[in-house]
Amino acid sequence: MRLPIRAATCLALIAAVCAPTTPAWSVAAAPEAGAGTTKATEKKPAEQATTKKKKKARPVDCAKVKCIALTFDDGPGKRVGTLLDTLKKHNAKATFFLEGQYVKARPELAKRIAKEGHQLGNHSYRHPDFTKIDEERIRSEIVETQRLVHKLTGKYPTTLRPPYGLYNDKVQQIATELGLPIILWNTTSHDWASRNQDAIYREVLKGARRDSVVLMHDWVDATVDVMPRLLTALKKRGFHVVTVDSLLRGRKLKPGEVWPADATISPEDTPLVQPND
């Protein structure tokens, strides 16, 4: 039996309203969502033609060469501009796990990180311990940062690093709902503790292995200052410094999945207080 037009229309509207929604930044939202770029930032034909004239850097194939990912938490720090200059000079790419409060305070630095092709990650808005706050606040911390980063850069962070690297079933469930894999680390610089260039240099090289994910902090002056020497040393050892996504060799992590599999988290890895204001 055919439904009256009015009744059929009402049922269609109800179905549309009640259908589950997928976050715009989720890897499940669109085939290209892993890049974190929305349709609003897609290039027009004329812009694409201009881009083609530029010589594109060949992507690094981490299946064929030795790669390492430097990841920077708690930023953008005040000296990220200097850090970006160094990364550019050495043709290196990094992953920045951004805090919403500092993205708001330093919007131009956040824009530059995205513009220069580094990977964007979400590190909460105010850096609370997710395992000690309720679900509503966890979601707010993540979503508020997602929206702010996208508003400024045109890109959504596509991964989450919980503050202090701490998570539990509740945090993992929310990350799954929001379509974000959880990225931790398997070696650290202990830069926040030593604040010493030589110590940071030694710690990173000591832990450097193929596919290492290194924890660093871009608000530590010594980290920014030692970076030219460190990148030179890593290159001499045969490493290509790349983003976390490049380490994955095209594999798409599932929402809520924790990576790397050999992640090692210690209370000594991250600071309890962040002098980033």
Q: Please confirm, yes or no, whether 198 is among the known catalytic residues.
A: no
Q: What is the DSSP letter of 6?
A: H
User: Could you tell me which of 216, 156, 163, 172 has the C-alpha nearest to residue 192?
Assistant: 216
Query: Is 252 within the bounds of a domain?
Result: yes
Asked whether residue 58 is domain-assigned, the answer is no
Which of 190, 159, 169 shows the shortest CA–CA distance to 267?
A: 190
Residue 273 within any structural domain of the chain = no
Using an 8 Å Cβ cutoff, are 40 and 154 in contact? yes
What CATH number is given to the structural domain containing 146? 3.20.20.370
Mean pLDDT of 176-198: 97
Per the listing, tokens 């924790």 go with 258
Across the chain, mean pLDDT equals 86
> Residue 250's domain spans which residues?
66-259
Residue with structure tokens 């940071």?
Answer: 200
Residue 274 pLDDT exceeds 60: no
- The residue among 115 and 54 whose pLDDT is bigger is 115
From the number of C-beta atoms within 10 Å of its C-beta (0-12, 13-18, 19+), residue 140 rates as middle
Q: What integer is the mean pLDDT of 33-56?
A: 51
Please state which of the ranges 52-56, 57-61, 201-205, 244-248 shows the lowest mean pLDDT.
52-56
3-class SS of residue 44: coil
- Is residue 240 part of the annotated active site? The answer reads no
Query: Which element (helix H / strand E) includes 97?
Result: strand 95-98
Task: Give the span between the Cα atoms of 236 and 238, in whole angstroms.
Answer: 5
pLDDT of residue 257: 98
Q: In the numeric block, which tokens belong to residue 260?
A: 């790397």
- Answer yes or no: is pLDDT of 39 > 60: no
Segment 85-132, tens digit of pLDDT? 999 999 999 999 999 999 999 999 999 999 999 999 999 999 999 999
Look up residue 164 and give its DSSP letter: G
Cα(213)–Cα(200) distance, integer angstroms: 15
pLDDT value at residue 199 = 98
How large is the angle between the packed helices 80-89 and 107-115, nearest 10 degrees? 10
Tell me: the pLDDT tens digits for 244-269? Answer: 999 999 999 999 999 999 998 776 66
Interval 55-66 mean pLDDT: 84
Residue 270 lies in a domain: no
Indicate which residue of 127, 190, 217, 240 is catalytic: 217
pLDDT grade, residue 38 (50/70/90)?
low
Q: What is the rounded CA–CA span in Å between residue 170 and residue 167?
A: 8
Residue 271 inside a domain? The answer is no
Helix (H) or strand (E) holding 224: helix 221-236
Question: How many domains does the chain contain in total?
Answer: 1
Mapped onto helix, strand or coil, the DSSP state of residue 208 is coil
Count of other CB atoms within 10 angstroms of residue 199: 16
Residue in the block written with tokens 């679900």: 135
Note the pLDDT tens digit of each residue in 7-35: 444 444 444 444 456 677 775 554 333 34
265, part of any domain? no
Asked if the structure places residue 48 within a domain, the reply is: no
Query: Tell me: the pLDDT tens digits for 133-159?
Result: 999 999 999 999 999 999 999 999 999
Please tell me the predicted confidence (pLDDT) of residue 185.
98
Per DSSP, the three-state class of 175 is: helix
Q: Which of 184, 111, 82, 178 is nearest to 138 (CA)?
A: 178
If one compares 119 and 44, the residue with the highest pLDDT of the two is 119
Average pLDDT over residues 189-201: 97
> Which pLDDT does position 25 carry in this prediction?
73
Phi and psi at 216, nearest 5°, equal: -140, 175
The residues, ordered by sequence, that sit 6+ positions from 174 with a Cβ below 8 Å of its Cβ are 135, 138, 139, 142
Can you give the pLDDT at residue 16? 47
Q: Is residue 61 part of a domain?
A: no
